[in-house]
Amino acid sequence: MKRGRAKAAPRAKPAAARPLDGRALAKALLDALPARVAALADQRGEAPRLAILAIGSDSPSEAYLKSKLQSCRAAGIETSVHSLPRTTTESEALVVLDDLAKNAQVDGIIIEVPLPEQLDARRLTARIPPEKDVEGVTERNFGRLFAARKMADLESGGVFVPCTAAAVLRLLETTGIDPRGKEAVVVGRSNIVGKPVAQLLTCLDATVTLCHTRTKDLAAHVRRADILVCAAGKPGLIKGRMLKRGCVVLDAGTTYEGNVVKGDVDAASASRVAGWLTPVPGGIGPVTTAALLANTVLAAERRTRERLAA
């Protein structure tokens, strides 16, 4: 009897990465705020207030501003938007910021970006008092953040964790993976995402490598990562072939091409290798907004405690 060649067993299709749902997490975080807002209103007679300085107009930032205002209303946070024309000078913008800094009813101040080219973001943010810096963008807050050795030091040091960095950590928590001793690679070195994320992961005892777009042989660094955070602003920079199988990929890249937002990760190839992957949009972005509102409520709670203790 003629024997045929045995058929090879079909290869198992690799499981797709599990999505890290930022919208669901953001809803859970936002749902926890109204009770804290109500307690503050009972305690001091007014809800927390967030002041927003918006200079000029930019379609993506306008959409983000609208989303923030809607979320604030839902949480019971009062808002005031101070809109200035694109031709605003630095001295004119500083007058508005100084007024908000002195206003006892304002708990948090943020400046919408991008700014017109004649304005220096660092000079403007420097006028925000650290106790009202709910985006965590001032140099004073940045210094306090990097003075921390453990996560517990952040609250005792009066730190406001930059909102996107906080969102990255919140989404990482949902995986149940303990960063302690893990290899973490952060791609991007901005003061609002890359550097703060690297510092926070260090506080959680991860072994952190901070890379950027000029890193030589970026793929070699990325391939070691158990936890990969991307925040370089370069669409498609990270391909699936660069990843360690089963890693956590948190894509905080935000690049607008027309009205479409794109991340740093090539999701189609990455999803076949990673264990966890944030979608863009719908991953980091919604949690960033929730983190901003949480920081605003925290600022109001801290200021209220100080006022009552005085």
Q: Is residue 264 scored above 50 in pLDDT?
A: yes
Residue 45 is given by DSSP the state S
- Give the mean pLDDT of 246-263: 93
The contacts of residue 227 (CB under 8 Å, 6+ apart) are 172, 177, 179, 182, 183, 184, 185, 201, 206, 247, 248, 250
Cβ-based neighbour number of residue 203 at 10 Å: 19
Structural domain that includes position 82: 46-132
Q: Are 214 and 116 members of one domain?
A: no
57-101: pLDDT as tens digits: 776 678 788 889 999 999 999 999 999 999 999 999 999 999 999
Distance CA 244, CA 224 (A): 6
**What are residue 306's phi and psi, to 5 degrees?**
-65, -40
Burial class from Cβ neighbours inside 10 Å (0-12, 13-18, 19+) for residue 66 reads exposed
Q: Are 273 and 185 members of one domain?
A: yes
- Give the mean pLDDT of 223-229: 98
Strand pairing partners for 227? 184, 248
Q: Are 114 and 182 members of one domain?
A: no
Cβ-based neighbour number of residue 79 at 10 Å: 17
Decide if 185 contacts 225 (C-beta within 8 A): yes
Distance CA 226, CA 206 (A): 10
Strand pairing partners for 52? 81, 110
Residue 280 included in any domain? yes
Distance CA 226, CA 244 (A): 7
Residue 75 included in any domain? yes
**Residue type present at position 180:** R
Structure tokens at 294: 């949480």
pLDDT confidence tier of residue 7, bands split at 50, 70 and 90: low
Percent of the residues in the chain that have a pLDDT greater than 90, as a whole number: 87
Q: Is the peptide bond before 60 cis (omega within 30 degrees of 0)?
A: no
The model's pTM is 0.92
Domain of 180, CATH number, reads 3.40.50.720
103-148: pLDDT as tens digits: 999 999 999 998 999 999 999 999 999 999 999 999 999 999 999 9
89: left (phi over 0), alpha (psi -120 to 50) or beta: beta
Residue 88 included in any domain? yes
Residue 15 included in any domain? no
Residue 257 included in any domain? yes
Domain count, the chain: 2
pLDDT confidence tier of residue 308, bands split at 50, 70 and 90: confident
Distance CA 98, CA 95 (A): 5
Residue given tokens 């005031």 in the structure block? 80
Decide if 108 contacts 296 (C-beta within 8 A): yes
Residue 32 included in any domain? no
Decide if 72 contacts 83 (C-beta within 8 A): no
Q: Are 170 and 236 members of one domain?
A: yes
Residue given tokens 């990673």 in the structure block? 274
Domain of 93, CATH number, reads 3.40.50.10860
